[in-house]
Structure 1
């Protein structure tokens, strides 16, 4: 039985703007006496972000990933099952929801505000991360998803501000005014390391969700909404099959998965622990994706030199070292369809011989 509604925040923003990095910082600085849960959704079928969030031995952080498409557009029974499983298993004090950067977050907001969640979810401020350098680019300011993410934001975080010119921040302010939006605007820099910034953002999390939801966005078909009370332990919604959890990967197995939607494409691979890659070959392969039509590359790879985390946005490649992983995984999101068979051959060519 749920005795107190769970504080819930949606953290949105376009591809590669720093949502996962922010969530890591929030988790690292959350109150010690609280249990937090994170629901991560990715457009690609593989799912990398949950591996990039530092999953320590702490038992006060619960992370669930739903890969393969927009959590927002799939905001019917499967999405509600994922949320309900988090509530049942983690019994969290707060839930952070990170929709895919190319998803429609208004839909997930509407689901969270549905009548059957009124006694379960206490929807708090929605945060939207944005790189102000991109606002002047028509590919962003004319993109309906980019606009939608800003329209639902109670707090807009202008991330990577150390890289801005004066005109960039002004462009963001002007665009918000053009959209007739008045969110709280916070500047963030250096991976959210500025003194007091995370404390300030933790305070923002507790503010109420109040930005408008456009009436022209239709809620999920009412016939898909569950009839039983979600407060009942016997509700079928608590016991739905968790289709987001694939069968375990064997040591010598490789899986390739693709997805497409909203004029975006993804291709990705999972490889078992028996596959070990050469660092230099992998770097050459990742460098080959510095093309205008490649929007994002994310990977966690087992190499002869250790476990490598890879992130590429706008042709900028960043690397980090991880402590452990159960497999290697890579996801590529592009604006044109890529040749999965050719890319897989290139990936396997990076193996240690």
Structure 2
């Protein structure tokens, strides 16, 4: 490689719209540029990468926990694989439960200094969460915002005046001041923020990794041809996740699946599913179900739920298996 690759970390808590924002950036990128995206998800079933693959980006997924745990071998393997393809830009989306300082420490280490030009870290926040004790008392939530030079208040179309005031007050109170902040809706990030230079704060020792029991060397897996589906669970940082991967030969009833996701009380639901109407991406945050049609064909259906409470996974699995028309 003859030039460093401009790189941005795009962070933010669960359900804030990171994936939607990256999809919008990919749609508006210069047509002559090749971008790469490293996606890290708390759950064991990779879903965000499936949504991004339609935009022609180079995708590498690191599922199975927060990136502070996977900032070792899996993260390095993923970054190296993407850099070998000589992208014009690299975007990194840590899980909504991740610690961005540890990712920054890895990217600014001697290993990547010749290859990565780390730009400003961008943190998305739902302004409504800045008035919610559940979020403002969460250390990860605060770490993500504290590590970023650029703050984007997303979902402004769903906010009221008090939410906007809370966002503006929060930005005003920050020391050191943030380089840039903006209120947007539906993840419409201005492309130019990717070129904002980062501040160089006190050094973060990459050896001071934050470890969890769920960290694994290579958590990725494939569905065995003889298996109709597989289930994987994860837990850590006060959250539980459960995900399913269903064979491409199974199709779910769209209406039934939409009703199921609408009724579930999980804090976060993501899915890319083959239905009787075609392939669709489902995204559930704060009880709102959004749906986007996808052009994927022959794709394995992926469903992931995250909640701060342990949910009746087996009961839910029985429902999904029935909706998929699988006989056990």
Q: Which residue of 2 aligns with 1:257?
A: 232
Is the 8 Å Cα contact of residues 271 and 327 (structure 1) preserved in structure 2?
yes
Equivalent position to 1:278, from 253, 266, 271: 253
Is the 8 Å Cα contact of residues 73 and 104 (structure 1) preserved in structure 2?
no
Q: In 2, distance between residues paired with 1:244 and 1:298?
A: 19
Per-residue CA deviations over 1:297-323 (Å, capped at 9, x if unaligned) read 001111112112111001111112111
Residue 97 of structure 2 corresponds to residue 102 of structure 1: yes
Structure 2: state its 5+ residue gaps: 210-216
Taking only aligned residues, the RMSD between alpha carbons, in angstroms, comes to: 2.1
Q: Which residue of 2 aligns with 1:116?
A: 111
Residue 311 of structure 2 corresponds to residue 338 of structure 1: yes
Equivalent position to 1:133, from 95, 108, 128: 128
Q: In 1, distance between residues paired with 2:186 and 2:106?
A: 34
Q: What's the CA shift for 1:181?
A: 4.2
Per-residue CA deviations over 1:257-304 (Å, capped at 9, x if unaligned) read 000010111001000012121122212321231x2xx21000111111
Q: Which residue of 1 aligns with 2:62?
A: 66
Equivalent position to 1:205, from 171, 187, 194: 194
Q: In 1, distance between residues paired with 2:54 and 2:201?
A: 34
Q: In 1, distance between residues paired with 2:200 and 2:15?
A: 24
Q: Which residue of 1 aligns with 2:322?
A: 349
Q: In 1, distance between residues paired with 2:28 and 2:285?
A: 26
Q: In 1, distance between residues paired with 2:35 and 2:199?
A: 22
3-state SS, counterpart of residue 75 of structure 2: helix
Q: In 2, distance between residues paired with 1:135 and 1:267?
A: 28
Structure 1: state its 5+ residue gaps: 193-197, 223-241
Q: What's the CA shift for 1:248?
A: 4.9
Q: What's the CA shift for 1:24?
A: 1.0
Q: What's the CA shift for 1:174?
A: 2.2
Q: What's the CA shift for 1:221?
A: 6.0
**Across the two proteins, how many residue pairs are aligned to each other?**
317
Q: What's the CA shift for 1:209?
A: 1.2
Distance 1:150 1:263, change over 3 A: same
Q: Which residue of 2 aligns with 1:159?
A: 154
Q: Which residue of 1 aligns with 2:274?
A: 302
Q: In 1, distance between residues paired with 2:19 and 2:240?
A: 21
TM-score, normalising length: structure 2: 0.90
TM-score, normalising length: structure 1: 0.84
Distance 1:177 1:212, change over 3 A: farther
Residue 168 of structure 2 corresponds to residue 173 of structure 1: yes
